[in-house]
């Protein structure tokens, strides 16, 4: 049995029998490159949006704690289906087993967060300058939310958005990556189990749209969808932002990262090696928070690079389902070709490959993660290649290191390894890291759901998951109540008639 056959078996076991199509894009597993049946694309996009609008009219009337009960039930169903859904993530996205399980756990965790949030959609009470008046600020449901997700987190990113949107009173339309549609259909089936237990949810509360770029463009342009949350490349995000802005809608963008680690002379190099290994090669370098730039002080560069070279030479690469495997496949042949092109460009720009950089001879797009010493932050270093390539540069002055960290178009995640309080606090200061995420003595990858996730500059400026990210899914309303018998105006204006 091929891996894509196994993926379809899991889907069928969850009670999903999606419509198939002759021709079109076949389903595929990166584990062995095997191909499966193509899925029929969603045809009636207008009907999808109309159902979502109708669902919103009913769902916004449901009390928020009651909406939270649906998300609680969904979390329970995810716990029951965790093994199957995680296996499907591995088969369709190529993640190693622990990462597949971790992604589903992330969905469960954000459900728990959202359930509590359903009783904390707080506003403000404001003092009025007018006697006998009461002012307050409240948050109201916004409307249908379109979620466009990427292949590298095929289910967790949708859950970040959907769990919050649902408790905020918003239906969700999901356009998953064309590379990972089966995980989306499986997740929808699990959600429908929760709907069955909930009992009185409106039809169209959550819908999955199977399709390519054109489907995303059509839905993004629809004025009935007030918020579009899109995760993917900066190129894609620019297109979505322009489409949504043209109709004065909202976009929540989670785009590219070019994340750096600064290593200082006082750093614990053993910790740094472990942090680099996970951050740079986890998910085969296909995380938006993957470590791509290692900025090392000259005094410790040789020692750290030597340790990293030894660690990279022993990385278990292979079938992500196998015990002990740490590096699975790239998503497809196009990703492997981008890996090759980036390394060729790095060499042309003066780079020296320290370790890795070649293909692994097996079915699927398997590569050996590479470390490349670079003379400067050249064009290839400025560009995010979605593959396990770590560029190493050295510095002498800490301020120079921070400037190097910030001197790329992207601004997602960052970190420093140091035992100096001054260096740590400078890195976290207003003149330190310009990223949305800044860490001390941990790598840039592996964010928890409790904090707001997102970045600046070409990363798009969006925030998802924890903290007050829920406000993006609601509309703010300032309310004033006059409980007096008079009608005074603000700012002392008089208008007597």
- Residues acting as catalytic residues: 254, 288
Q: How many CB atoms lie within 10 A of CB 124?
A: 11
Contacts of residue 391, Cβ cutoff 8 Å, sequence gap at least 6: 292, 293, 294, 346, 351, 372, 373, 374, 377, 380, 381
Residue 338 vs residues 69, 212, 489: alpha-carbon distances, Å: 45, 21, 64
Query: Three-state SS across 315-331?
Result: CCECCCCCCCCCECCCC
Contact 300, 307 (CB under 8 A): no
Q: How far apart are CA 205 and CA 181, in angstroms?
A: 19
Residue 339 sits at φ, ψ, to 5 deg, of: -60, -50
Residue 434 vs residues 100, 156, 293: alpha-carbon distances, Å: 31, 26, 15
Contacts of residue 353, Cβ cutoff 8 Å, sequence gap at least 6: 343, 346, 347, 370, 371, 372
Beta bridge partners of 123: none
Task: Tell me the residue ranges of DSSP E strands in 200-258.
Answer: 206-208, 227-231, 250-254
Q: Which pair of structure tokens corresponds to residue 184?
A: 């989306």
**Backbone region of residue 283 per phi and psi (left: phi > 0; alpha: psi in -120 to 50; beta: other values):** left
Q: Which pair of structure tokens corresponds to residue 350?
A: 């003066």
H or E segment to which residue 367 belongs: none
Q: 356-362: long-range contacts (C-beta < 8 A, 24 or more apart)?
A: 356/312, 356/388, 357/389, 360/317, 360/318, 362/318
CA 434 to chain centre: 19
């Amino acid at each position: 049995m091929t891996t894509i056959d196994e993926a379809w078996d899991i889907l069928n076991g969850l009670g999903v029998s999606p419509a198939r199509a002759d021709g079109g894009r076949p389903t595929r597993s990166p584990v062995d490159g095997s191909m499966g049946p193509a899925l029929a694309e969603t045809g009636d996009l207008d009907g999808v949006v109309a159902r979502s609008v109708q669902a919103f009219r009913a769902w916004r009337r449901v009390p928020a704690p009651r909406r939270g009960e649906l998300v609680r039930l969904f979390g329970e169903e995810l716990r029951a289906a965790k093994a199957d859904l995680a296996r499907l993530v591995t088969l369709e996205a190529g993640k190693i087993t622990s990462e597949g399980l971790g992604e589903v756990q992330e969905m469960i965790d954000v459900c728990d967060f959202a359930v509590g949030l359903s009783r904390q959609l707080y506003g403000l009470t404001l003092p009025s300058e007018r006697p006998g008046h009461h002012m307050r600020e409240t948050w109201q449901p916004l409307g249908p939310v379109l979620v466009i997700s990427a292949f590298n987190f095929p289910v967790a990113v949708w859950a970040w958005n959907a769990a919050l949107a649902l408790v905020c009173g918003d239906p969700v339309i999901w356009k998953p990556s064309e590379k990972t549609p089966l995980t989306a259909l499986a997740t929808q089936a699990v959600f429908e189990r929760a709907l069955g237990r909930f009992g009185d949810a409106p039809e169209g509360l959550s819908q999955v749209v199977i399709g390519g770029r054109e489907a995303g463009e059509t839905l993004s342009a629809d004025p009935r969808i007030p918020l579009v949350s899109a995760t993917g490349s900066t190129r894609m995000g620019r297109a979505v932002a322009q489409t949504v802005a043209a109709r004065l809608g909202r976009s929540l963008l989670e785009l590219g990262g070019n994340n750096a680690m600064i290593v200082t002379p006082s750093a614990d190099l053993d910790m740094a090696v472990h942090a680099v290994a996970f951050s740079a090669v986890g998910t085969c370098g296909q995380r938006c928070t993957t470590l791509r730039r290692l900025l090392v002080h000259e005094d410790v560069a040789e020692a750290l690079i030597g340790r990293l070279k030894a660690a990279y030479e022993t990385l278990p690469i292979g079938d992500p389902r196998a015990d002990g495997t740490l590096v699975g496949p790239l998503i497809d042949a196009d990703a492997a070709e981008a890996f090759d092109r980036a390394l060729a460009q790095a060499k042309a720009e003066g780079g020296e490959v320290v370790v890795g950089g070649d293909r692994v001879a097996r079915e699927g797009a398997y590569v050996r993660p590479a470390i490349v010493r670079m003379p400067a932050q050249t064009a290839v270093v400025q560009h995010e290649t979605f593959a396990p390539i770590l560029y190493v540069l050295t510095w002498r002055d800490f301020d120079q290191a921070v400037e190097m960290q910030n001197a790329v178009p992207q601004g997602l995640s960052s970190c420093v390894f140091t035992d100096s309080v001054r260096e740590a606090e400078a890195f976290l200061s207003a003149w330190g890291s310009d990223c949305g995420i800044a860490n001390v003595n941990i790598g840039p990858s592996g964010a928890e759901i409790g904090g707001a996730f997102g970045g600046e500059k070409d990363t798009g400026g969006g925030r998802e998951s924890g903290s007050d990210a829920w406000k993006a899914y609601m509309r703010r309303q300032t309310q004033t109540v006059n409980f007096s018998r008079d009608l005074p105006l603000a700012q002392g204006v008089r208008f007597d008639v």
